[in-house]
Amino acid sequence: MRGEYTQLACSFCDKGKIETWHIPSVWIEKRTGKSSLGKGKSVKKTSEIWIIKSGCNICGKSAEEVEKELKRKQII
Ligand SMILES: [Zn+2]
């Protein structure tokens, strides 16, 4: 799977490191195949994906809680 391993700071205590897997959004080309009009191609952007792999080992928040908080703060 493409993507990269990234560490984010815990958004609760700011000291812990949260292990995440980050898959950036990419443009993909789709061939429609059927179209005799236009070029028969379209592009679309996939959404960015963050997979939270661990909770915080400093304040003890679970991966789920950390994910919620990071999303609420629009960090991920
Ligand atoms: Zn923490």
Distance from residue 39's CA to the centre of ligand 1 (Å)? 51
Tell me the pLDDT of the chain (76 aa) as tens digits. 689 999 999 999 999 999 999 999 999 988 776 656 666 788 999 999 999 999 999 999 999 999 999 999 999 9
**19 CA to middle of ligand 1, Å?**
12
Report residue 20 as tokens: 């995440």
- Judged on CB neighbours under 10 Å (0-12, 13-18, 19+), 49 is middle
Cα 33 to middle of ligand 1, angstroms? 50
Taking the model in full, what pTM does it have?
A: 0.74
pLDDT recorded at residue 11? 95
CA of 35 to the centre of ligand 1 (A): 52
CA 26 – CA 54 distance, rounded (Å): 25
